[in-house]
Structure 1
Amino acid sequence: MTSASVNDIEFRSVTKRYGAVTAVTDINLAVPKGAFVALLGPSGCGKTTCLRMIGGFEQPSEGEVQIGGAAMAGIPPYRRPVNMVFQHYALFPHFDVEANVAYGLKQMRPKIEAAEISRRVGAALEMVRLGGFGKRRIHEMSGGQQQRVALARALVNKPKVLLLDEPLAALDKKLRTAMQIELQTLQRELGITFVLVTHDQEEALSMSDKVCVMSAGRIVQFASPQEVYDRPANIFVADFVGKTNRLSGTLENGNAVRLSSGALMPVRDTLLAPGTALTLAVRPEAIRLAKAAEAAGGIAGTVTHRIFLGSSVEYSVAVSGLGDLLVTAERQSLAADGLAEPGDPVRLVFDPSGAHVFPA
């Protein structure tokens, strides 16, 4: 395990049970100081339980959680150097913005002088670009502004770690994208550790510098967003993070797989023995679609659906023996008349670097 001086958060063989139900099993995790880490996974995978154990709202059944090198066993939430932004913000509707942000400071002992509270509240509101909004009522604020009030309230106490429990889930797509950028900027400016819980793959990949993918109470991969997407640890990660096509086949040699349809597909070199049964995860953007009359080679298919997404186009292509495959084409790579239509015969050419090979 890395030295505690390097990490803000450590899980050491942590297991959490609720009666007969085990929520997380033998979690070992080290979150470096100043990192932006996303805990990513489907509902029930244990990510929120981990967040709540960091915050002190739950205690491990086994193992130890450390923050800044100190064991947190028995330490209540209000005595931990962390703060949390909840999914629904948990703002006080009868307080104005200033009173919401000041609430935590007023509970601190020994008491902080009123002038210092006012100064720190003003600085926190400036930090989240809400200077001048202190006297506004919460119901007068937009969803994005309320989220920033919740951030200011969490940051005003100068925590070592900020915990974010799906804080963008209630926002529309455009505002969510804007707030993702705001959070990244804020985290870089402050230099404190952010831990985000989300089930949104795009959110995790775009915001964090480390992604912790969880499944069934265990960590299945902890790596950079690019590594998680480009080199998934197993078929679950390949399936859950981004879109993928699952194919089955048998390794013909080091860099070719005989698919269940009989077609031969190139893959990156693998150390598995020829004849090994495989599952392949192929990203939609790793398949090039060409009109049948204009291309030789590849695998024949027929377009069944076309989804126009503006900057890109998604196709569903029926391939004999393989089923329907998803193919993504960027608009820049298409001529003005390059869109295929449902019913068109096409050829699919696979990029070996986009095919992830796993033993069946």
Structure 2
Amino acid sequence: MGSAARDDIEFRSVTKAYGAVTAVRNISLNVPKGAFLALLGPSGCGKTTCLRMIGGFEQPTSGEVLIAGSGMNGVPPYRRPVNMVFQHYALFPHFNVEQNVAYGLRQMRPRIPAQEIKRRVGEALEMVRLGGFANRRIHEMSGGQQQRVALARALVNRPSVLLLDEPLAALDKKLRSAMQIELQTLQRELGITFVLVTHDQEEALSMADLVCVMSGGAIKQLGAPQDVYDRPADLFVADFVGKTNHIQATLEADGRTLRLPDGSALDVGAERNIGAGETTLAIRPEAIRLTPGGEPRGEGFAGTVTHRIFLGSSVEYSVSVPALGDFLVTADRSTDEGQLVEPGQSVRLGFDPAAAHLFPASHAAQPEGNTHGQQT
């Protein structure tokens, strides 16, 4: 009963298999009351299967799922204190807004009085800033408004947990950013637990207060967004959550000297939880300093800008460094380093070794030169 006081959702050694395919592997997870959890990972990682097991649309092959301390194995979706917002909203086009939001209430038994339904629908529409839209037809509404109707329909039943299955995927970038803020605000106002499934790391980091990174049906890292980004548990997390440059190197026996492919050495400090031998150094693009001019005797690594992407407040550069490969560098235009550098220009790159992460050499890293993880 101890978990019931603290956690809204608990997975106890949960596995889900579909025949010979195991989608979720022995996961244990605790989600505190009132948390905003993002399940983040590539397609096929098991995040949607976890969401569906919380909602009751799938049952564990083994292990147990609990909500508010009560076991949910075998409990159908309509008997769980959860509601779900689907990626494509699943609104009824022949109903107006009020009828869509009221649909779930009208199915409840014993029946809820009509006046009570009307009152609760009005409250739900006010929550999502759609007061006055009750009689509007669905086809007359924008994508963002339809998304809020779907939210109101899910919230009107007063769930303990709200499940969000990539609800912003169909929106354009500007509207998606606005809805991210609205969802955060709504979750804080209501104080109920939100569980978001997404493959978009920017969406997960910006919205959630707890991020669960998954791969191959297992949890790779669970923590606050800034911890997952700044202190990735392994090379997969470093690559998937944000963009990362790799350098294949060798950590010498003293545990602090990193020998790079060009023969140079970096002192990475002694407090590293990694043994000597083949190592992957990972460094974020924004942690690299780019200075115009590539004098051979200068500090850092001499390279040549091959590509430049102007992003308004920042600039991304691809820089080729002999023997080390290509680096992705992000420069903030509000600083002195933000002056534009032209492709073909010589530059020097430098970074604080304390900002770099070291991981045992693995198959996730490519042995030839430098690679940088892609934002997905």
1:5 matched to which residue of 2? 5
2:318 matched to which residue of 1? 316
Q: Does 1:191 align with 2:191?
A: yes
Query: CA offset at residue 270 of structure 1?
Result: 3.2
Query: CA offset at residue 243 of structure 1?
Result: 0.4
Structure 1 unaligned residues grouped into runs of 5+ = none
Mapping 1:222-237, distance limit 5 Å: 222-237=222-237
Which AA in structure 2 matches 1:249? A
Tell me how far apart the structure 2 counterparts of residues 22 and 335 of structure 1 sit (CA, whole Å). 48
1:114 matched to which residue of 2? 114
Three-state SS of the structure 2 residue aligned to 1:202 is helix
Contact 1:290 1:348 in 2 (8 A): yes
Contact 1:2 1:30 in 2 (8 A): no
Alignment partner for residue 306 of structure 2, among 283, 304, 307?
304
1:219 matched to which residue of 2? 219
Alignment partner for residue 334 of structure 2, among 327, 332, 335?
332
Q: In the superposition, relative to structure 1, how do residues 101 and 273 fare at CA in structure 2: closer, same or farther (>3 Å)? A: closer
Tell me how far apart the structure 1 counterparts of residues 354 and 331 of structure 2 sit (CA, whole Å). 16
Tell me how far apart the structure 1 counterparts of residues 124 and 261 of structure 2 sit (CA, whole Å). 59
Q: In the superposition, relative to structure 1, how do residues 272 and 225 fare at CA in structure 2: closer, same or farther (>3 Å)? A: closer
Query: CA offset at residue 87 of structure 1?
Result: 0.1
Query: CA offset at residue 235 of structure 1?
Result: 0.3
Which AA in structure 2 matches 1:312? S
Query: CA offset at residue 5 of structure 1?
Result: 1.6
Mapping 1:276-315, distance limit 5 Å: 276-292=277-293, 296-315=298-317
Q: In the superposition, relative to structure 1, how do residues 164 and 273 fare at CA in structure 2: closer, same or farther (>3 Å)? A: closer
Three-state SS of the structure 1 residue aligned to 2:4 is coil
- Scaled by the length of structure 1, the TM-score of the pair is 0.97
Tell me how far apart the structure 2 counterparts of residues 80 and 122 of structure 1 sit (CA, whole Å). 24
Q: How many residues align?
A: 359
Query: CA offset at residue 335 of structure 1?
Result: 6.6
Three-state SS of the structure 1 residue aligned to 2:334 is helix
Which AA in structure 1 matches 2:319? V
1:146 matched to which residue of 2? 146
Contact 1:286 1:353 in 2 (8 A): no
Q: Does 1:341 align with 2:342?
A: yes
- Scaled by the length of structure 2, the TM-score of the pair is 0.93
Tell me how far apart the structure 1 counterparts of residues 263 and 240 of structure 2 sit (CA, whole Å). 27
1:65 matched to which residue of 2? 65
Q: Deviations over 1:74-127 (max 9, x none)?
A: 110011000000000000000000000000000111110000000000000000
1:265 matched to which residue of 2? 266
Three-state SS of the structure 2 residue aligned to 1:38 is strand
Query: CA offset at residue 327 of structure 1?
Result: 0.4
Tell me how far apart the structure 2 counterparts of residues 25 and 44 of structure 1 sit (CA, whole Å). 12
Q: Deviations over 1:280-330 (max 9, x none)?
A: 111001110001268921011111011100000000000111111000000
**Identity, % of aligned pairs?**
74
My pick for the range that moved more, 255-264 or 96-105, is 255-264
Which AA in structure 1 matches 2:151? L
1:38 matched to which residue of 2? 38
Query: CA offset at residue 255 of structure 1?
Result: 3.9
Tell me how far apart the structure 1 counterparts of residues 310 and 233 of structure 2 sit (CA, whole Å). 31
1:131 matched to which residue of 2? 131
Contact 1:263 1:299 in 2 (8 A): no
Tell me how far apart the structure 2 counterparts of residues 250 and 220 of structure 1 sit (CA, whole Å). 25
Q: In the superposition, relative to structure 1, how do residues 268 and 215 fare at CA in structure 2: closer, same or farther (>3 Å)? A: farther
Three-state SS of the structure 1 residue aligned to 2:187 is helix
